[in-house]
Structure 1
Amino acid sequence: MNGRVERTAGGVIVEPPLMNAVVLDRFGGVDELSSRRIPLPEVGDDDVLIRVEYAGVGSWDAAERKGDFDGAFGIPTTFPYVLGWDAAGTVAAVGRNVAGFDVGERVYAATMPVARGGFYAEYGVVEAEFVARVPDRVPTEQAGAMAWDALTALSGLELLDLRSHETLMVFGASGGIGHLAVQLARHRGIRVLAVASGDDGVALARRLGAERAIDGRREDVLAAAYEFAPGGLDAALVTAGGGIAERSLRAIRKSGRIAWPNGVLPVPVTAPDATVSYYDGDRSRAATDRLNAIIEANSLVVHVARTFPLERVGDAHRALSDHYVGKLAVKVA
């Protein structure tokens, strides 16, 4: 982290401190990811500098690596570009306007890599508004893979606003967002029909509290849904799109509700009878406070399928195309 000092005829030049990172110099395939040392991000007055220990790896990372998000946020792309939307580690420094965080304290955060870089690096800088303490009962590895998925699941459930004993289909229940949505729904007393993938996905959803779990690729989802709720399901949270998901939404009664996170593709070709609300996850301090309160009252398990060292983040991106349940992560420090 230390910077380098050089003496020249004109005086002393102090180069910025450097860190290890995985960067893109252009968008493209996995082979465009390369490891090298780059300057630490600058810490603004309202920022927290995090020494990253674990970072999450999600399907959106691959899309971003290919350039699918280029210009999507109204900010020009600059290289080298550092991916990584969520992470956990310890506080390394804080801006002068930041109170309530101590150096060395365990924290997690959700960020957007554009324009100051993401978490595939030894250090990441995030506005304090989007940083939260890691609850004592959550291992740092799980916290590193948690932020965006848990907050997206929580935002969807809050949007649906179901009461205890109402029925919910979580479609994609063995994925990153879905397996957390199952647990958060059970915390609210909601009856969950989990549509998962593979025997391992079904087993995970059951273990995490789904009242009924089925393999959406091998079983008749509509038949299972009407058996679970003969009058139709009250709601659905969709975390994986496609034809099966679209057909499954026929099981939601007309007065029901469907929450669909932005970025889950493809969206339905034919609008279902129930109202669909497309939404973004809330990563504000208020949202992480609500998430942490749930974790403190009711433990939340973040299932990390595989963890890769930072220098093998390319293998993590390749693994995104394989079958796995839960979330992938990279170990940075």
Structure 2
Amino acid sequence: MGSKAQDTASGASVPAEMNAVVLDRFGGVDELKQRRIPVPEFGDDDVLLRVEYAGAGSWDVLERKGLYDNAFGAESTFPFVLGWDAAGTVAAVGRNVTRFEVGDRVYAATIPVLRTGFYAEYSAVEAEHVAHVPDRLPTDQAGALGWDALTALTGFDVLDLRSGDSLMVFGASGGVGHMAVQLARHRGIRVLAVASGDDGVALSRRLGADAVVDGRKVDVLAAASEFAPDGLDGAFITAGGEVAERALGAVKDSGRIAWPNGVEPEPAKTPAAKVFRNDGDRLATDRLNAIIEASSFEVHLGGVFPLERIADAHRALDEHYVGKLAIKIG
């Protein structure tokens, strides 16, 4: 049974309506419309999040076009609110929620087709998928953290590498990629970063990669073979394609390859090393937070757009950028 936020025992003052960017149908950037809609109801096990920053990722474009319609076993309903990750403060909590209080600074990851997304001033999220923002992390960075960092963290679970092992991060200057570089360095793993553009190379180098190459300019297979003459222990692929597939030839037959679900195109040939597919584990936020608190981990924001410029943000997603893009909501 859903609850209206203003009726909860928390006493939080939440309006009946909110600003949001919605889709009335799937399509191009022109389908993104800003208007007022009702604040979502929330259940006994939910947190109502007052969104300050939302992440913008390539999957937002795919979902805007309708390519995720029914992908998670749920039918899309309109008006549809995009936005998979966000940060802000707790506006209200369900009666079974004990870990959070009104005013707490939190971040969260959601699946918009199953629950309302984050391109809105408020969103309801299951409390188990909400986490406190580490003290040292700014809220704008936390808003773009969720899915990318958890996908990277889960990738390392399947890679099962040890300190001193060698790893190629392909797509190292992107959202998941630049976080994977940092998680690898935290574990003492030697990192060859394959980035994109001079700015991507500079970012990967600043974040601590042992070697960095521009995948558009150099022979990545040759660079990987030079980096690990006996073969790479693993590869983390965050951008598919012919160059990525060829580079996998540098991974030992006994090595492991993390290839997150949604990274396209799929390899045309099965590599000798075993490929593990993974999603982000939304229950792994305690582990992620411990790493953030114990390291210099950061979310590099390649651009922050106000809500009224959401169309520009989506156009930017189809262009070159490094790190992750964010939307300033409140």
TM-score range normalised by the length of the shorter chain: over 0.9
Residue number in structure 2 paired with 1:196: 195
Residue number in structure 2 paired with 1:248: 247
Q: Would the aligned equivalents of 1:53 and 1:87 in 2 still touch at CA under 8 Å? A: yes
Moved more, 79-88 or 271-280: 271-280
Deviations 1:53-104 (A, max 9, x none): 0000000000000000001111111000000000000000000000010101
Residue number in structure 2 paired with 1:167: 166
Greater gyration radius: 1
Q: Would the aligned equivalents of 1:87 and 1:143 in 2 still touch at CA under 8 Å? A: yes
Q: Would the aligned equivalents of 1:2 and 1:18 in 2 still touch at CA under 8 Å? A: no
Residue number in structure 2 paired with 1:79: 78
Deviations 1:174-208 (A, max 9, x none): 00000000000000000000000001101100100
Matched, 1:306 2:303: yes
Q: How many residues align?
A: 319
CA distance in 2, matches of 1:304, 1:157: 23
Deviations 1:245-278 (A, max 9, x none): 0001000010000000000000101010100011
Aligned residue for 2:54, secondary structure, equals strand
CA distance in 2, matches of 1:2, 1:188: 42
Residue number in structure 1 paired with 2:140: 141
CA distance in 2, matches of 1:215, 1:208: 15
Shift of 1:162: 0.4
> Which residue identity lines up with residue 173 of structure 1 in the other structure?
A
Residue number in structure 1 paired with 2:290: 293
Residue number in structure 1 paired with 2:32: 33
CA distance in 1, matches of 2:5, 2:58: 34
Q: Would the aligned equivalents of 1:41 and 1:116 in 2 still touch at CA under 8 Å? A: no
* Cα distance, 1:267–1:18 mapped onto 2, change above 3 Å: same
Q: Would the aligned equivalents of 1:58 and 1:320 in 2 still touch at CA under 8 Å? A: yes
> Which residue identity lines up with residue 307 of structure 1 in the other structure?
V
Aligned residue for 2:149, secondary structure, equals helix
Shift of 1:2: 9.8
CA distance in 2, matches of 1:183, 1:76: 37
Residue number in structure 2 paired with 1:318: 315
Pairing 1:91-102 to 2, within 5 Å after superposition = 91-102=90-101
Aligned residue for 2:95, secondary structure, equals coil
Aligned residue for 1:254, secondary structure, equals strand
> Which residue identity lines up with residue 43 of structure 1 in the other structure?
F
Q: Would the aligned equivalents of 2:5 and 2:41 in 1 still touch at CA under 8 Å? A: no
* Cα distance, 1:133–1:224 mapped onto 2, change above 3 Å: same
CA distance in 2, matches of 1:292, 1:69: 29
* Cα distance, 1:2–1:148 mapped onto 2, change above 3 Å: closer
Residue number in structure 2 paired with 1:118: 117
TM-score, length-scaled by structure 1: 0.94
CA distance in 2, matches of 1:298, 1:307: 24
> Which residue identity lines up with residue 22 of structure 1 in the other structure?
V
Residue number in structure 2 paired with 1:13: none
Tell me the C-alpha RMSD between the 2 structures.
Answer: 1.2
Aligned residue for 1:261, secondary structure, equals coil
Gaps of 5+ in 2: 7-14
Residue number in structure 2 paired with 1:10: none
Q: Would the aligned equivalents of 1:78 and 1:115 in 2 still touch at CA under 8 Å? A: no
Pairing 1:142-157 to 2, within 5 Å after superposition = 142-157=141-156
Shift of 1:115: 2.9
CA distance in 1, matches of 2:201, 2:209: 9
CA distance in 1, matches of 2:74, 2:228: 46
Q: Would the aligned equivalents of 1:21 and 1:37 in 2 still touch at CA under 8 Å? A: yes
Residue number in structure 1 paired with 2:261: 262
CA distance in 1, matches of 2:90, 2:5: 17
Residue number in structure 2 paired with 1:176: 175
Moved more, 182-191 or 108-117: 108-117
* Cα distance, 1:234–1:2 mapped onto 2, change above 3 Å: closer
Residue number in structure 2 paired with 1:6: none
Shift of 1:123: 0.4
CA distance in 2, matches of 1:185, 1:72: 31
Gaps of 5+ in 1: 4-15
Q: Would the aligned equivalents of 2:302 and 2:324 in 1 still touch at CA under 8 Å? A: yes
Identity %: 72
Aligned residue for 1:178, secondary structure, equals helix
> Which residue identity lines up with residue 200 of structure 1 in the other structure?
D
Shift of 1:299: 2.3
> Which residue identity lines up with residue 290 of structure 2 in the other structure?
A
